[in-house]
Structure 1
Amino acid sequence: MYNAKGRTDNNAMLKQYSPLVRRLAHQMIAKLPANVEIDDLIQVGMIGLNDALGRFDAAQGVQFETFATQRIRGAMLDELRGSDWMSRGNRRQQRNIEAAVHKLEQRLGRAPHESEIAAEMGISLTEYQELLGKVRGTQLVYLEDLSGDEGDDDYLERHVGTEEANPMAVLQDMRMRTALVDAIKLLPEREQYVMSMYYEHDMNLKEIAAVLKVTESRVCQLHSQSIARLRVKLREW
């Protein structure tokens, strides 16, 4: 978009791509504790969008939305890292949940119910569900955020000692993919739906809640529990 003088109209571009900022914020919020406000993420994301407008060079052959997405996510992640969004106590509680899930899976030979996990942890079901809301999510890392400042794709290759230590190589390992697919198949049916809608169909919490006829906070609980189960399975792998 250009103004009457043929220059990029930043205000018009900010307005056009503000829905992208909101969409990325809603995608990220399910992976974050309840104390993180969606409006704060959107505000920081708009700063990232403005930065993208100032840095974008069409001559590089990259679409603006792709470039802006990286800058917006990067701005949000920088803000989260700087504010230490997950406390040590929450991290410890997350590990406690995973430990309880692991013990029960070994004992029962199946995915444990929420009530069973709560009992294993010595707390009520209500307390356990509230805990899921507090510890929801894990450390956020997007592969595109691991590129260099100038977007060089070989950044990972230049910063790892061996091919085995390259996280990209691990992600591309078919055994790892197979283990993840198998772990997802072992999730309870409703949690499988949540993971599919969130990651495969790019739906936000409100949309998933409408489909499942539950509250957004309940979707967050189911997402947190799914992540805990998957982390246990992949740690075994």
Structure 2
Amino acid sequence: MYTAKGRLETSAMLKQYSPLVRRLAHQMIAKLPANVELDDLIQVGLIGLTDALSRFDTAQGVQFETFATQRIRGAMLDELRGGDWMSRGTRRQQREIESAVHKLEQRLGRAPQESEIAKEMGLSLGDYQELLGKVRGTQLVYLEDMSGDDGDNDYLDRHVADPAANPMAMLQDHRMREALVLAITNLPEREGYVMSMYYEHDMNLKEIAAVLKVTESRVCQLHSQAIARLRVKLRDW
């Protein structure tokens, strides 16, 4: 589809190749944490498609779809790199919670209570619960956890793009799933309820709060604490 001047007809090409953007977004979202929004990836992908339309040159000797796929994926990956789901400070605080949980589990031989975690971190119970609400733990796997000790800057490109070696592929491993199920089973009762209602029954925070007869902010705290416990349990996976 070209104009009279031999250029690609943008509007027609956008319409024709928008399904490609959606397909690539769906392939990528399946390998990323749940808090990454599909619509966000699609919007970024459409920008990548538009960029491909403006830069494509038939003299390059490649088909447009091949060229566009590279541009679309590149735009999505750039967004994933730049759009940090947590600020560095917040992620550091999340890791401090996990460290305290890990130390207490080793010392006590059981799941520590909130008050014990707060004391370990040198915080009052109220301040600790406020911190849980702030970090809003959402990810069992952080992409930087998988980068390796030698600073693998191309990890995201290779592993999110490669269906056989993406970060979330671990969650499809039989032993990993068994470990995750066991870890959830061993959560404190209310945290286990929150995880079950949120992930198995697709209930929102308001609905969970109504069932547990607590505030939505309290549900958020319980969810963050559960995520911290699970990440400690799954650290070796």
TM-score (norm 2): 0.57
CA deviations over 1:84-114 (Å, ceiling 9, x no partner): 4522111111110000000000011110000
Task: Give the counterpart letter for 2:96 in structure 1.
Answer: N
Q: Does 2:192 align with 1:192?
A: yes
- Residue number in structure 1 paired with 2:100: 100
Aligned to 1:217: 217
Segments of structure 1 that go 5 or more residues without pairing to the other structure are: 1-27, 33-40, 52-76, 142-154
Deviations 1:46-93 (A, max 9, x none): x96xx8xxxxxxxxxxxxxxxxxxxxxxxxx99887554522111111
Aligned to 1:87: 87
Which digits, 9 at most, give the CA deviation of each residue in 1:24-67, with x for residues without a partner? xxxx99x69xxxxxxxx9xx77x96xx8xxxxxxxxxxxxxxxx
- Look up the match of 1:61: none
- Residue matched to 2:119: 119
Say whether 1:159 aligns with 2:123: no
Equivalent AA in structure 2 for residue 220 of structure 1: C
Q: Give the letter aligned to residue 216 of structure 2.
A: E
Report deviation, 1:236. Answer: 3.4
> Which structure: larger Rg?
2
Query: Does the CA-based 8 Å contact 2:184-2:192 persist in structure 1?
Result: yes
SS in 1 for 2:235: helix
Aligned-partner SS, 1:214: coil
Q: Which residue of 2 aligns with 1:170?
A: 170
Alpha-carbon displacement from aligned partner over 1:197-222 (angstroms, at most 9, x marks no partner): 00000000000000000000000000
Runs of 5+ consecutive residues of structure 2 not aligned to the other structure: 1-32, 47-76, 142-157
User: What is the alpha-carbon distance in structure 2 between the residues aligned to residue 98 and residue 194 of structure 1?
Assistant: 19
Query: 2:159–2:166: 8 Å Cα contact kept in structure 1?
Result: yes
Determine the C-alpha separation between the residues in 2 that align with 1:89 and 1:219: 22
Identity of aligned residues (%): 78
Q: Is the 8 A contact 2:140 2:227 kept in 1?
A: no
Q: 1:213 to 1:107 in 2, by over 3 A?
A: same
Give the TM-score taking structure 1 as reference length.
Answer: 0.57
Give the number of equivalent residue pairs. Answer: 166
